[in-house]
Chains A and B, each alone.
Chain A
Amino acid sequence: MGSKDDLRDRKDPRASVGDERNARVRRRNYARPAVDIYSNDVEMVVLADMPGVPKSDLDVTLEKDELVIEGRVADREASESALPWGYHRRFRLKTNFDRDRIRAGIRGGVLRVVLPKAAGERPQKVPVD
């Protein structure tokens, strides 16, 4: 499984004092999904393997300069499964994206996030006289 470094110093916003231990257990059992990322002039696309996550249990959040993807797999925690109870990963965004047009979808356990590049980021042809 991939490293969980990026989860370690993050506070789970849903955890209260009493839930702190539960939150830690939950994070330990969340996996970092493998991703393919490609880019072109108009957009960047992130594809992440999150098998077992349905649309209803998926959260894609755009924070100031980070894209956060998180998904939960039903039944895994309850059955104490050795398979991931969910997936979690953050990406630092260096490019300027058109935040209003970012869209995401999941099918067959594969998440696809499309980040259209902001107008200034797209290469513009310079007219030559």
Chain B
Amino acid sequence: MSEEKKKTASGRGALAELKEAVTGLFDQVVGLTPDLGFRREFPKHELRVEDDGYLALVEIPGLRRDEVEVSISGRALSISGERPRFNPPADSQMIRSERPSGEFTLAIRLPAEVDAGAVAARVRDGVLEIKLPKPTAGRGQSIDVEADEASQPADEPSSHERPGDRSRMPWEDEPTQS
């Protein structure tokens, strides 16, 4: 009885609790936090293997490049943003409402290292295209001796894609001497 009262008095509170419980579950299982606005569909995406690296495609209809954040930390590519909910103009009624909205965070694990400083992203017709070139051997990249992925602290800042950025490259193998 008190349970029902709680629902009517603060339905929002109960819903927020449920959302947190579900989100928490997702965090444990896949390490991602979906917004219920997108339901179980994160932005559809695809990772293509090309000769010179990878190409990540993410569907973000209606969003501009500056409305999406792209960052890379080692082999973890992260894409996040928010699509505002659509509101019809005044004096209009919604007849159908299917398009998703809300915050999204996408984490893509790359199969191999990339040249984080050379990552480039653009948006074309609502598709975010992220080019991730393979690291070029023999290029004088400075190597951080302590950059071992396992020993990096959890709140280590990830490098954002900007040309010329020197990123931490956790090397698993010994780099070849040029």
Contacts and interface: CB of A to CB of B under 8 A. Distances in A.
Interface of A: 34-41, 44-45, 47, 49-54, 79, 81-83, 106, 108-110
Contacts of B100: 34
B59 A52 contact: yes
B126 A34 contact: no
Interface stretch (B2-10, B90-98, B138-146): B90-98
B85 to A, nearest CB: 10
Which bracket fits the contact residues of B?
A: 20 to 34
B125 to A, nearest CB: 5
B99 A53 contact: no
B109 interface: no
The main secondary structure of chain B at its interface with chain A is loop
Contact of B61 (A49, A79, A81): A49
Contacts of A109: 59-62, 125-127
Given A39-B93, A81-B46, A83-B59, A34 B127 contact: no
Nearest to A38: B88
B98 A34 contact: yes
A35 B92 CA distance: 16
Nearest to B100: A34
Interface of B: 44-46, 48, 57, 59-64, 86, 88-89, 91-100, 123-127
Given A83-B59, A109-B62, A39 B95 contact: yes
B95 A44 contact: yes
Overall SS of chain A's interface:
loop
A108 B125 contact: yes
Given A53-B125, A81-B46, A109-B125, A38 B57 contact: no
A44 B89 CA distance: 12
Contact of A49 (B91, B94, B99, B123): B99
A39 B92 contact: yes
A52 B126 contact: yes
Contacts of B126: 49-52, 108-110
A82 to B, nearest CB: 6
A40 B92 contact: yes
A107 B125 CA distance: 6
A6 B97 CA distance: 19
Nearest 6 Cβ contacts at the A-B interface: A109-B126, A51-B126, A38-B88, A109-B61, A34-B98, A40-B92
Given A53-B125, A108-B64, A110-B61, A79 B48 contact: yes
A106 B61 CA distance: 11
Given A38-B93, A39-B95, A54-B125, A110 B44 contact: no
